[in-house]
Amino acid sequence: MKNLFLVAFFCSIFSASFTSAIAQPSLKFINGVNFGNENISSPELISPALSPASTLFSVSKPIISFATEKCSKIQFKYALLLNKEVEAIVNLNLFGFIEEWWNTKYRYGGTSKKGIDCSAFTGLLMSCVYAVRMPRTAKQQYAETQRVNKEELTEGDLVFFNTKRGVSHVGAYLGDGYFVHASSSNGVTINNLDEEYYSKRYIGAGRVNFTSDNMSKL
């Protein structure tokens, strides 16, 4: 009887330890991903060694459920910023351009890394990424583009806002409500159309007409 009691005691300890080990999220953290002015850790998924017994337990899923071995730092950074899977960051020309200008301060009338305004930024983005030259001001860019419903926005469309009088601010749409722009307060950054400030000032969106005439302006 004493031996049976000891066996049961040690079995209970082993079972508790095993359950605790299985229940831990299988993540490790690797330092070194540069997010503008911040260094953060990037999670890399590690597959646990599964035994028949481990299938009896429910393992909680990590927030980021993709392996990062094959993705670039740019893909990883913008997947987090846009709340997307890393595989969804496919337009590397676009996100490489954004990364190049990321955090560049705002300057009215500016067109360089020393400072750039909203319409100069979108004009340069459209030229470098999509090979289309746009007019200089937000109001002119609004007139140059074709109106598109908010629900039908796609990557590369322009979004316009009334921050002063009429069309006075513009950004480039990235998907899922997110857009990149040269903000007067934060420089080149990403925001969402659902944020209160932008939702109240949103005027509409415009899609570039990729015609031969437009292309010939380059």
Please indicate whether residue 30 or residue 215 has the higher confidence score (pLDDT).
215
From first CA to last CA, the distance across the chain in angstroms is 91
Pick the range with the lowest mean pLDDT from 74-88, 186-200, 203-217.
Answer: 203-217
CA–CA distance, 165 with 54 (Å, rounded to integer)? 63
User: Measuring CA to CA, which residue among 193, 134, 209 is closest to residue 160?
Assistant: 193
Across the beta sheet with 169-175, what order do the strands follow? 146-148, 202-207, 158-161, 169-175, 178-183, 187-192
pLDDT at 80 over 60: yes
pLDDT at 33 over 60: no
Band of residue 213 on the pLDDT scale cut at 50, 70, 90? low
Cβ–Cβ < 8 Å for 118, 101: no
pLDDT tens for each residue of 100-118: 999 999 999 999 999 999 9
Asked about 11 being catalytic, the answer comes back as: no
Band of residue 188 on the pLDDT scale cut at 50, 70, 90? very high
pLDDT tens for each residue of 40-75: 333 333 233 333 333 332 333 333 434 445 689 999
CA–CA distance, 213 with 218 (Å, rounded to integer)? 10
Asked about 71 being catalytic, the answer comes back as: no
Is pTM beyond 0.75? Reply is: no
- pLDDT score, position 64: 41
CA–CA distance, 64 with 82 (Å, rounded to integer)? 13
Three-state DSSP at 213 gives helix
Please indicate whether residue 76 or residue 217 has the higher confidence score (pLDDT).
76
Asked about 169 being catalytic, the answer comes back as: yes
Three-state DSSP at 159 gives strand
User: Of 11, 71, 118, 128, which one is the catalytic site residue?
Assistant: 118
User: Measuring CA to CA, which residue among 192, 185, 191, 169 is closest to residue 122?
Assistant: 169
- pLDDT score, position 152: 97
User: Of 11, 71, 128, 169, which one is the catalytic site residue?
Assistant: 169
Three-state DSSP at 47 gives coil
Three-state DSSP at 28 gives strand
CA–CA distance, 3 with 15 (Å, rounded to integer)? 18
pLDDT tens for each residue of 105-152: 999 999 999 999 999 999 999 999 999 999 999 999 999 999 999 999
Band of residue 83 on the pLDDT scale cut at 50, 70, 90? very high
**Average pLDDT, integer, range 91-103:** 98
> Measuring CA to CA, how many Å separate 40 from each of 34, 62, 65, 77?
7, 17, 18, 10
